[in-house]
Amino acid sequence: MAWFGMDKTRRVAAGEALPGRAEALDTPDWHDVHEDRRIKPPFPDGLRTAVFGMGCFWGAERLFWRTPGVYSTAVGYAGGHTPNPTYEEVCTGLTGHAEVVLVVYDPAQVSYETLLKVFWEGHDPTQGMRQGNDVGTQYRSAIYYTDETRQAEAEASRASFEQALRGAGYHAITTEIAPLGEFYYAEDYHQQYLHKVPDGYCGLGGTGVSCPVGLGVRKG
């Protein structure tokens, strides 16, 4: 399938997507910063996971591995059609995936609501299929939830933060909030990239608007 000249801000349908592969990519089991912690299951009892897309996943992952209460992180692809995609395939716009971060956290130390606050304040969720100079569907803002409670918390936080953004002169939030299908781990060199390459590219930038907390939904 040719993709030269295609509009990378248009999400592809399942029938247009690249075929991918049955085999998972070869990726590490362990975190490069928290070296005694896994980035793949099994995780210690009591931990939970969350998946966020904030544009380029390098800077987004660093934001979360520095958040107190987060056990480990990994970057990957979600929200698309192509099984086990490569980074090069995702960059074509023909897999439908967003670049995302898997956040493994201890709800006794940090609530999902707090992670949502980190998410909203860490990028500009009003930009549609881009984040700063990074343009394409892979850079869209996204929250992928695993149950109805997380969905309710995500939607409540979106409504609260959108009100704050409107007051600061921003447009409507374009963040995709959807059930998590399959999370595919990105290649080894992407994992904890900004730890391996401290001066590497980070396109992450927030709006400077504070996200309210205390949304009236169950935490954790």
- How far apart, in whole angstroms, are the C-alpha atoms of residue 124 and residue 132? 8
The one catalytic residue in 56, 91, 202, 211 is 56
Active site residue 56: yes
Q: Are 61 and 193 in contact (CB under 8 A)?
A: yes
Which token pair is 208?
């400077």
- How far apart, in whole angstroms, are the C-alpha atoms of residue 52 and residue 57? 9
- Cis peptide bond N-terminal to 42, omega within 30: yes
Q: Are 200 and 194 in contact (CB under 8 A)?
A: yes
Beta bridge partners of 131: 134
Amino acid at 2: A
CB-based contacts of 16: which residues, under 8 Å, 6+ apart? 1, 94
Burial 68-96 (b: 16+ CB within 10 A, else e): eebbbbbbbbbbbbbbbbbbebbebbbbb
Q: Are strands 141-145 and 176-179 parallel, antiparallel or unpaired?
A: parallel
- How far apart, in whole angstroms, are the C-alpha atoms of residue 107 and residue 152? 17
Q: Is the dihedral of CA 157, 160, 163, 169 positive or negative?
A: negative
What residues are annotated to the active site? 56
